[in-house]
Amino acid sequence: MADDHAGRNLPPLSLHIPEPRFRPGDTVDFGHFEIPAADASSRPPIDAAAEAMRGHSYGLVRVLDEDDRAVGAWDPKLSPERLLRMLRHMALTRAFDERMYRAQRQGKTSFYMKCTGEEATCIPATHALDRGDMVFPSYRQQGVLIARDWSLVDMICQIYSNSGDRLKGRQMPIMYSAKEANFFSISGNLATQYPQAVGWAMASAAKGDTRIATAWCGEGSTAEGDFHSALTFASVYRAPVVLNVVNNQWAISSFSGFAGAEATTFAARAVGYGIAGLRVDGNDALAVYAATEWAAERARGNHGPTLIEHFTYRSEGHSTSDDPTKYRSADERTAWPLGDPIARLKAHVIAIGAWDEERHAAMDRELAEQVRAAGKQAEALGVLGDGMHQPFSTMFEDVFEEMPWHLREQSAQMHAERAVSGITAGGEK
């Protein structure tokens, strides 16, 4: 067949490769970001049609203004007690991160991931949910457990994979699981929690329950097939679920443009699926609370799912295995125009007369001591490389409800061989 383009004077095609605005050594200027006023976004009715909310996927829900006051239709009008409780949980999460980061550097665990600068993307959201609502987290939502007052010792034992680890060393550090806290097991495979959350929400609706589900993923994970499959099911079946995308600008060392940020917002994914979408200032604790509360009420009222983009910034490296100075400017963290979520909430409670710098400093000292004490208690049960922490026989357990004959046979054979070799149950000769 003849080439239809033969003889044409056509320009050569070119492939667009996304590039971040700033690389190591560059001067940072976020002047291209358009940050709307705190009271600019309207608050739709809970039962608003998704197509009527198109603009909310491109704007930015904000509550705290430049004078640290709560303004606008999205102001959740929280009591000082609730604000201070959220502030305490956010500060405790940061103190926990700091100590676990140092523990990894000291060789007490192999791996850790901080959520510094992103505390407001999950802690206020958890406060806006009911305790019975099911949470499907990604690996940077340790604040959910802390906001549900989960044991710090239990969390640290999981990080150390020691004898107190309820998961028996079978999960990577920081991949918690807490059924009693309605906290689904964290997976290192990205976006898997999205279809799981939608499926759980569909089951809840099918049973006539009143509980909803919520899930988190990073903006890079929106490129995964699981993300789009989940949104299809959520849209078709109007699943009572709140789906959160934490847009912290970086997916490991790849900036958000590779997931589509140059073309549109991540909240705009909702438009194509016919569901409600909200784009929220992820460093504004009150905005996150208000958006989650709205989405939860919408889900509970059988009005369908909501996709929330939390526009924030990852202040630290992706993990303890990452060096962000290799791929981004060191000035980005301090130049980020939406500030620090803890500092902003602290400034607000001070502005309304419910807090002061002295009490905040005292709280930080108290929380640091609380984390230190929990760390010492967990370390008494072992740290990385400190002997075998779980009985060897556990490698055959918890796979089946009742152990089948072939596993019982293998377990007996293993114990016999270890006995001949003089190895104790604890792994010593």
Indicate whether 30 pLDDT > 90: yes
What whole-number distance in Å separates Cα of residue 51 and Cα of residue 10? 40
Q: Percentage of residues in the chain with pLDDT exceeding 70?
A: 97
Query: What is the overall mean pLDDT for the chain?
Result: 94
- Exposure of 16 by Cβ count < 10 A (0-12 exposed, 13-18 middle, 19+ buried)? exposed
Residue type, 147: A
Residue 2 pLDDT > 90: no
For strands 254-255 and 250-251, give the pairing: antiparallel
**Could you give phi then psi for residue 324, rounded to 5 degrees?**
-65, -15
CA nearest neighbour of 154 among 171, 170, 141, 167? 167
**What per-residue confidence (pLDDT) applies to 395?**
84
Q: How far apart are the first and last CA of the chain?
A: 76
Q: Please tell me the predicted confidence (pLDDT) of residue 389.
A: 78
**Is 135 in a helix, a strand, or coil?**
strand
What local confidence, expressed as pLDDT, does residue 391 receive? 82
Inform me whether the pLDDT recorded for 120 exceeds 80: yes
d(C-alpha 180, C-alpha 100), whole Å = 23
Q: What is the pLDDT of residues 231-277, one digit of tens each?
A: 999 999 999 999 999 999 999 999 999 999 999 999 999 999 999 99
Residue 243 near residue 308, CB atoms below 8 Å: yes
Domains and CATH numbers, the chain: 50-319+336-379 (3.40.50.970), 391-429 (no CATH)
- Convert the pLDDT of each residue in 165-215 to its tens digit: 999 999 999 999 999 999 999 998 989 999 999 999 999 999 999 999 999
Tokens of 88: 């305490």
Rounded CA-CA distance 201/203 in Å is 5
